[in-house]
C-alpha cells in the first residue's frame, strides 16, 4: 500500500485590480453577464465569459427553471453556446463570477462538478489548455492554468475504449 499525494498549483490575487488588463476586461464581461442571469429561485447570479482564440468573447449566465433540474449553470450555457457557434475554435480563457441578492460573496466561485466536466471536454476536444479565472463579488481571485487542475481524476474518453 502506498499513500499518494496530489498537488495542484494555482495563482491567487488579492483583488481584481491586480489582474493583467486583459483578464480584468474578461472578468468585467462575466460580471455583466451575471447581471442578466435568470435566477428567481436561488437569487444567485452567475456569469461566465469565454475568450476564444480568434478574439471573440462568448458569455453565458445561469438560466433557472421552476422545474429545478431543468435549469442550467452559467458555465454550461456559455460553453455550449461557444461549441454551437465556433465548434473549431479553441477557448483560451474562461472568467466566472457570481453574486447573490441575499448575501455578499467575498470568495471566488467554485464551479460545480458537472460544469467542470463540460469545460474539460472542450479542453480535450481541442487539445488546448483553458485558463480559468474564478472570482466572487469582491475578494481574492483564483486562476488555474487548466480545467484539468480543478477536476483531478476526471472521466476521460480513453476509459470508453476497450483495451
Contact 118, 83 (CB under 8 A): no
Among 26, 27, 58, 73, binds ligand THU (CB under 6 A): 73
x/- site string to ligand THU, residues 11 to 50, per CB under 6 A? ----------------------------x--x-x-x----
Minimum distance of ligand THU from residue 21's CB (angstroms): 26
Residue 116, Cβ density class (10 Å: 0-12 exposed, 13-18 middle, ≥19 buried): buried
Residue 93 contacts ligand THU per CB under 6 A: no
Q: What is the C-alpha separation between 26 and 45, in angstroms, rounded?
A: 17
Residue 71 contacts ligand THU per CB under 6 A: yes
Phi, psi of 73 (to 5 degrees): -70, 160
Judged by beta carbon, residue 51 or residue 73, the one nearer ligand THU is 73
- DSSP, collapsed to helix, strand or coil, labels residue 142 as strand
- The C-alpha cell of 103 is what? 448575501
Q: What is the C-alpha separation between 114 and 134, in angstroms, rounded?
A: 16
Residue 111 contacts ligand THU per CB under 6 A: yes
In 10 A of CB 33, how many CB atoms?
Answer: 26
Residue 75 contacts ligand THU per CB under 6 A: yes
In the annotation, is 75 catalytic? yes
Minimum distance of ligand THU from residue 36's CB (angstroms): 13
Among 58, 64, 95, 123, binds ligand THU (CB under 6 A): 64
Question: Residue written as cell 438560466?
Answer: 63
**What residues line the site for ligand THU (CB under 6 A)?**
39, 42, 44, 46, 62, 64, 71, 73-75, 111-112, 115
Q: Which residues are catalytic?
A: 75
Amino acid at each position: 500500500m502506498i499513500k499518494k499525494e496530489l498537488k495542484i498549483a494555482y495563482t491567487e490575487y488579492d483583488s481584481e485590480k491586480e489582474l493583467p488588463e486583459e483578464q480584468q476586461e474578461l472578468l468585467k464581461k462575466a460580471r455583466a453577464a451575471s447581471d442578466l442571469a435568470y435566477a428567481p429561485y436561488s437569487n444567485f447570479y452567475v456569469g461566465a465569459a469565454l475568450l476564444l482564440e480568434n478574439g471573440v468573447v462568448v458569455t453565458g449566465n445561469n438560466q433557472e427553471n421552476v422545474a429545478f433540474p431543468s435549469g442550467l449553470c452559467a458555465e454550461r450555457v456559455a460553453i455550449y453556446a461557444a461549441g454551437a457557434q465556433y465548434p473549431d475554435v479553441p477557448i483560451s480563457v474562461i472568467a466566472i463570477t457570481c453574486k447573490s441578492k441575499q448575501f455578499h460573496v467575498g470568495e471566488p466561485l467554485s464551479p460545480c462538478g458537472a460544469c467542470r466536466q463540460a469545460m474539460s471536454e472542450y479542453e480535450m476536444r481541442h487539445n488546448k489548455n483553458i485558463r480559468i479565472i474564478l472570482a466572487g463579488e469582491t475578494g481574492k481571485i483564483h486562476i488555474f492554468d487548466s480545467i484539468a487542475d480543478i477536476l483531478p481524476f476526471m472521466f476521460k474518453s480513453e476509459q470508453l475504449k476497450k483495451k
